[in-house]
Chain A
């Protein structure tokens, strides 16, 4: 087997160019962080790429957000298609088109052609999530949209700089369609300059090594990654793996979860992902266009190859097939702004399949991302300016083989993303956080428990015209465990009305909900799913979790069968009752299969009577209810139970 590099570059020049390409995109990232306006970019929702003259990705930043992986080359190629033969040094183009390989409208990419003298040798691309792109909802997330019209401004390839001259007319037209024009212009400059950083670096390399060697190097680094991936895939057994995960619902249809089905086939050094069996597009923004679906596949798979650099060499190894007009292959004008929901389902399904191939890197389901968006007028300031409050929370990742899940971590679609400080939010927006802490009992129980989620409660301060939207999922497709591990918990947003003192359950997805000053809104995030049978968890680990209050004394017994006596909580004096533990575990083992198959209607009754809570419903009885009214969701329950039997029950001894 020939393992020698097929590039003709000498190994030193190759290694130097490879590292320099990566350094150049890292330099772009540094510049963006220091000059950006969008706080979403500031919290690291961005990515940068260096491309060859055909638009293939040569290097993508190692700290870039996962969700942009495998999409930059698509938008670069689209720009080339538009402007071929009409590109000049000093040009910069923009695109945010999800139907041409982008992700969603908020992610705006600025692309600069790089020339050596007259010759086009490559492109640099800077992709950042802008704070607003217009449409009917602040932050441009209108969950009720079915089509893109009114969601946000769609930017097909446009020219923002012409031979170094800023095209203020075009830029202003875009900015004027948003709620935050000054920041939009600022971010255009910030990103345009970031692309210049890579241009300077590439031209320096050309000056040193010559054009031919550099362009050859751009090919060679892609070949290099492809070789490494092929090598690893070849070393794996051939086979077929299948996984299904769900989106909670189609608001345009009745109750019932929306399946995303993936079949992965490894044959020799080829790998294919087939989405046959996935649901048709749905009447919400939770659809994914083909470019974003490809990205989800790559991001999921890359998790099992953490050390490899990212470029088109990786991407061309992966083949994705999807039925037309499915929830993972939406076409214009189907709304796709919430593509992150299918995205994370795909990632987790891929985690599940690869966990079987590489058990040493196995991981259960991670919590679902969530965004809270609110906007209105801030009455704390004399001129009552428009404010936009846009917040996301961390949660728990899945339990692992020999290790608990990672606690309070950013969502898997973008682990580089930072959560925002409460003090910053309180200063900028009329909201005050009342509570922001780890959510006790959120980790999915398992021999290795999931990571912990959080709970955050805030009060709306002096404001008017405030509407709120919430973008989340897995209220029904609850974060699952594997290898006998248990799910985390259902979740959604609760509002406590200041005038009546009443609580209202709003669930995990809603848009344009009016709230008043003094109203309090609370929502948790899920923990990760458990890995392995919770009855096999070392009671000492349960004890430690109880002492640290990750797990309550009550749920230690319910979920783990570990009975703990509290001697003196002030002195952290807790003790395992071993005899009672043995008895509790025997009881659970003897009855749990029956519980998991109990008549769902009966479970719904117990819930309505307050005898059980939503954790009991999913962990013990595997039943999905309307968590506000307690009404049974028969179809969702059937789907949930099918997965629960496979992932949990079948592994119990």
Chain B
């Protein structure tokens, strides 16, 4: 009986169950159609179809879109908010700005909790944490009785300045709980104890509204797995790129709001590291969009600036993923100014590209790839036939004719515009943050990533492209490769020159205790506990802080400040040695290291592989006779040069002329792109 690890990634179309044999490291994938009304059904079907005995499973991890979908569709239980008197509308006033500045008919969505269900009580605490007005308990009890009568399922308690003193919020929670023991209550001083009321309230509101949905789902899934014989904790992938157990989900449900998005970035980071690249860019291109992520010195970049719907920030750290509307199905079109555009409109999964023969007649990236010979005449191992005639017709009519171009020139133009758009997205995450793409590898995956990866890399002077063994299911693998991770932070506003290391140590001691407690709560052994500190600083007078990593024992504030100057210069190209520096916040990332199985490794014997066939493929206006390889039959150590095409069930790899490729011990294809 072999021990296995199971990761489940629920997508819009398919639920991927990824099973890893703990002894051999072999990975296999079971694909099942998703069941959006209750995602659990597809998961259980996948498990049973894959022949998994849950009693043999040592780790079950799961990236879920349950929270994301509930927020997007707003299928949320009735929730209420209790605020300081006079501040009922913080989440509706927001920062008052709009996502689209110029379109007066496009509004920011209304808050998740409507005005009628936002009640207030008398209380006020000042900026220093001093009570100005005591909590009016009689009023608090009245509010509790009203909310009970209204039968709300979740409550967010959000008081002004609670980030310095949460006593009133705690008391309010206790009063509510006495009246309604079964209702989910999120209080802002616990969810996100940070200054700025809208960001804190918004995060707390999101946490409250998704709690009933997520907690219910997680507990049902946990029960079901336990019934099947699984004895460990169900692990849930959170937006920050770690996993958490149901015990933490109960308090921090909103951390799962971007659960499904993080998996691809994690897989990309893992593959990059495996191939020896501490710096890598994840390039996950699917049918309608491309997700770009960045890993620097072994760590994914993380942002606290994100949301599901514009205007309602979720301030939990989130792996930074930039999504743009460019995918295999993106439409090419000519706008009224006479410019050739690509996306963001997409032909979607249906009708899909013209070559799918489902009635779409507008050229897409896939059609261009077919015309250029980069895609063959079938996909998914023959399940989908691509009609080259229809692809050609679409390119001719929607691109070649309006722009007065030859057929292949038009197809290449479509691809070039798509590649340039994607390269710009990568540029925003890399060059504009002070990273030099020449120091990175591009990990290309998703159904279309490997078709475009080499060209995008070349555009950006990225020297190497890594195509993992199963590009189409790489995201699911991401869920297998993670540790338990939590993020803690606390305000620490002080002049750096007035701060002695002891002050910082005292602040860290508080949050580190909380961190260690949380990991204990999740049964992480002390030897598997890792704490990483950051100190956020800024030049006095600046408005945004910059996080600098801090040592486990701080002996000198000057060293931290020096680190800040360096980081500021790397990121923004200037430093002000003479300007005073402020400390803004301290943070701790607490990791409970999960033992990871190793991927299988094969002996590398350098050899020239045999092509399965040849066909004509267009590159730079020329048709080239090109070797076509079948990835299923290729072995570690295979070395070949472009132009070449590698076909496999879930993807097609393009190796352009001048590039060289080889297959490494983990069966990744490494393409060296020449300038």
Q: A residues bordering B, Cβ < 8 Å?
A: 3-5, 10-12, 14-16, 18-20, 23, 26-27, 30-31, 33-37, 39, 42-44, 62-64, 66, 182-183, 186, 189, 193, 196-197, 224-225, 227-228, 231-232, 302-303, 305-307, 361, 363, 394, 397, 400, 403, 406-410, 415-419, 421-424, 426-427, 432-438, 454, 457, 547-550, 570-572
Query: Which A residues touch B198, using CB under 8 A?
Result: 421
Contact with A along B497-512 (1 / 0, CB 8 A): 0000000000000000
- When the two chains form the complex, which single residue of B105, B146, B335, B573 contacts A403, counting CB atoms closer than 8 Å? B105
Closest-by-CB residue of A relative to B101 is: A415
Closest-by-CB residue of B relative to A42 is: B543
Contact with A along B116-142 (1 / 0, CB 8 A): 100000000011000010000000000
Q: How far is the CA of A183 from the CA of B573 in the complex (A)?
A: 18
| B602 is an interface residue with CB less than 8 A from chain A | no
Closest-by-CB residue of B relative to A569 is: B146
Contact check, B338 vs A15: say whether CB atoms are below 8 A apart: no
Q: How far is the CA of A221 from the CA of B412 in the complex (A)?
A: 22
| B393 is an interface residue with CB less than 8 A from chain A | no
Query: A196-B573, A424-B196, A550-B115 are contacts. A15–B340 as well, Cβ < 8 Å?
Result: yes
Query: Which A residues touch B97, using CB under 8 A?
Result: 44, 409-410, 415-419
- Interface stretch, picked from B219-227, B260-268, B413-421, is B413-421
Q: B504 to nearest A CB, angstroms?
A: 20
Closest-by-CB residue of A relative to B88 is: A437
Contact check, A26 vs B428: say whether CB atoms are below 8 A apart: yes
Query: Which A residues touch B416, using CB under 8 A?
Result: 12, 16
Q: B residues bordering A, Cβ < 8 Å?
A: 85-90, 92-98, 100-108, 114-116, 126-127, 132, 146, 149-150, 160-161, 163, 195-199, 335-342, 403-404, 412-413, 416-417, 420-421, 424, 427-428, 431-432, 539-544, 546, 568, 571-574, 576, 579
Q: B305 to nearest A CB, angstroms?
A: 10
Contact check, A303 vs B102: say whether CB atoms are below 8 A apart: yes
Add 17 more A-B contacts to A419-B95, A438-B89 (CB < 8 A): A4-B404, A5-B338, A23-B424, A23-B427, A27-B428, A31-B572, A35-B572, A37-B543, A42-B544, A182-B579, A421-B198, A423-B196, A423-B197, A424-B195, A435-B87, A437-B86, A570-B146
Contact check, B420 vs A16: say whether CB atoms are below 8 A apart: yes
Q: A343 to nearest B CB, angstroms?
A: 16
Contact check, B105 vs A12: say whether CB atoms are below 8 A apart: no
Q: B595 to nearest A CB, angstroms?
A: 39
Query: A15-B340, A35-B542, A423-B127 are contacts. A408–B576 as well, Cβ < 8 Å?
Result: no
Query: A231-B336, A548-B116 are contacts. A19–B98 as well, Cβ < 8 Å?
Result: no
Q: A618 to nearest B CB, angstroms?
A: 24
Contact check, A193 vs B572: say whether CB atoms are below 8 A apart: yes
Q: B637 to nearest A CB, angstroms?
A: 35
Contact check, A406 vs B574: say whether CB atoms are below 8 A apart: no
Query: A12-B417, A438-B92 are contacts. A571–B105 as well, Cβ < 8 Å?
Result: no
Closest-by-CB residue of A relative to B543 is: A42
Q: Please list the 9 inter-chain residue pairs (A to B) with the smallest Cβ-Cβ separation, ordered nearest first.
A: A435-B86, A394-B96, A42-B543, A306-B102, A418-B95, A228-B337, A306-B103, A5-B338, A11-B340
Closest-by-CB residue of A relative to B93 is: A408
Contact check, B544 vs A33: say whether CB atoms are below 8 A apart: yes
Contact check, B572 vs A454: say whether CB atoms are below 8 A apart: no
- What total count of A-B pairs have CB within 8 Å? 220
- When the two chains form the complex, which single residue of A4, A303, A394 contacts B104, counting CB atoms closer than 8 Å? A303
Q: How far is the CA of A306 from the CA of B105 in the complex (A)?
A: 10
Query: Which A residues touch B544, using CB under 8 A?
Result: 33-36, 42
Closest-by-CB residue of A relative to B572 is: A35
Contact check, B92 vs A14: say whether CB atoms are below 8 A apart: no
Q: A6 to nearest B CB, angstroms?
A: 8
Query: Which A residues touch B541, using CB under 8 A?
Result: 37, 182-183, 186
Contact check, A189 vs B574: say whether CB atoms are below 8 A apart: yes
Q: How far is the CA of A403 from the CA of B106 in the complex (A)?
A: 11
Q: How far is the CA of A306 from the CA of B126 in the complex (A)?
A: 43
Query: A33-B544, A303-B104, A427-B127 are contacts. A454–B428 as well, Cβ < 8 Å?
Result: no
23 A-B residue pairs with Cβ-Cβ distance under 8 Å, sorted by A, are A11-B413, A11-B417, A15-B339, A23-B427, A26-B428, A31-B432, A36-B542, A228-B335, A228-B337, A361-B105, A400-B104, A419-B94, A421-B199, A423-B163, A423-B195, A427-B195, A435-B85, A435-B87, A436-B87, A437-B88, A438-B89, A550-B115, A571-B150
Contact check, A409 vs B96: say whether CB atoms are below 8 A apart: yes
Query: A419-B93, A421-B197 are contacts. A37–B341 as well, Cβ < 8 Å?
Result: no
Query: A35-B542, A39-B543, A306-B100 are contacts. A20–B424 as well, Cβ < 8 Å?
Result: yes
Which of B87, B107, B114, B163 lies at the interface centre, i.e. has the most chain A CB atoms within 10 A of its CB? B107
Q: How far is the CA of A587 from the CA of B290 in the complex (A)?
A: 60
Q: How far is the CA of A408 from the CA of B95 in the complex (A)?
A: 9
Closest-by-CB residue of A relative to B114 is: A548
Q: How far is the CA of A122 from the CA of B543 in the complex (A)?
A: 30
Contact check, B161 vs A426: say whether CB atoms are below 8 A apart: yes
Query: Which B residues touch A454, using CB under 8 A?
Result: 89, 93
- When the two chains form the complex, which single residue of B89, B420, B574 contacts A19, counting CB atoms closer than 8 Å? B420
Contact check, A436 vs B86: say whether CB atoms are below 8 A apart: yes
Contact check, A12 vs B413: say whether CB atoms are below 8 A apart: yes
Query: Which B residues touch A37, using CB under 8 A?
Result: 539, 541-543
Query: Which B residues touch A62, using CB under 8 A?
Result: 101
Query: Which B residues touch A42, using CB under 8 A?
Result: 543-544
Contact check, A437 vs B87: say whether CB atoms are below 8 A apart: yes
Query: Which B residues touch A421, using CB under 8 A?
Result: 195-199
Q: How far is the CA of A63 from the CA of B97 in the complex (A)?
A: 10
Contact check, B403 vs A11: say whether CB atoms are below 8 A apart: yes
Query: Which A residues touch B573, using CB under 8 A?
Result: 193, 196-197
- When the two chains form the complex, which single residue of B87, B101, B421 contacts A63, counting CB atoms closer than 8 Å? B101
Q: How far is the CA of A432 from the CA of B420 in the complex (A)?
A: 50
Closest-by-CB residue of A relative to B117 is: A572
Contact check, B89 vs A570: say whether CB atoms are below 8 A apart: no
Query: Which B residues touch A193, using CB under 8 A?
Result: 572-574
Contact check, A416 vs B339: say whether CB atoms are below 8 A apart: no
Query: Which B residues touch A437, using CB under 8 A?
Result: 86-89, 93
Query: Which A residues touch B197, using CB under 8 A?
Result: 421-423
Q: How far is the CA of A418 from the CA of B96 in the complex (A)?
A: 6
Closest-by-CB residue of B relative to A180 is: B541
Closest-by-CB residue of B relative to A404 is: B107
Q: A241 to nearest B CB, angstroms?
A: 18
Which of A62, A64, A306, A400 lies at the interface centre, i.e. has the most chain B CB atoms within 10 A of its CB? A306
Q: How far is the CA of A302 from the CA of B421 in the complex (A)?
A: 25
Contact check, A197 vs B432: say whether CB atoms are below 8 A apart: yes
Contact check, B339 vs A426: say whether CB atoms are below 8 A apart: no
Contact check, A397 vs B101: say whether CB atoms are below 8 A apart: no
Q: B152 to nearest A CB, angstroms?
A: 12
Query: Which B residues touch A361, using CB under 8 A?
Result: 104-105
Which of A18, A19, A197, A423 lies at the interface centre, i.e. has the most chain B CB atoms within 10 A of its CB? A423
Which of B93, B107, B196 lies at the interface centre, i.e. has the most chain A CB atoms within 10 A of its CB? B93
Q: B101 to nearest A CB, angstroms?
A: 5
Contact check, A397 vs B87: say whether CB atoms are below 8 A apart: no
- When the two chains form the complex, which single residue of A4, A27, A63 contacts B338, counting CB atoms closer than 8 Å? A4
Query: Which B residues touch A416, using CB under 8 A?
Result: 97-98, 101
Closest-by-CB residue of A relative to B574 is: A193
- When the two chains form the complex, which single residue of B95, B98, B339 contacts A11, counting CB atoms closer than 8 Å? B339
Query: Which A residues touch B105, using CB under 8 A?
Result: 361, 400, 403
Query: Which B residues touch A548, using CB under 8 A?
Result: 114-116
Closest-by-CB residue of A relative to B405 is: A11
Contact check, B576 vs A186: say whether CB atoms are below 8 A apart: yes
Contact check, A363 vs B338: say whether CB atoms are below 8 A apart: no
- When the two chains form the complex, which single residue of A23, A182, A394, A436 contacts B428, counting CB atoms closer than 8 Å? A23
Q: How far is the CA of A147 from the CA of B336 in the complex (A)?
A: 46
Contact check, B93 vs A394: say whether CB atoms are below 8 A apart: yes
Q: How far is the CA of A27 from the CA of B435 in the complex (A)?
A: 13
Q: How far is the CA of A495 from the CA of B90 in the complex (A)?
A: 24
Q: A11 to nearest B CB, angstroms?
A: 4
Which of A15, A20, A37, A307 lies at the interface centre, i.e. has the most chain B CB atoms within 10 A of its CB? A15
Q: B115 to nearest A CB, angstroms?
A: 4
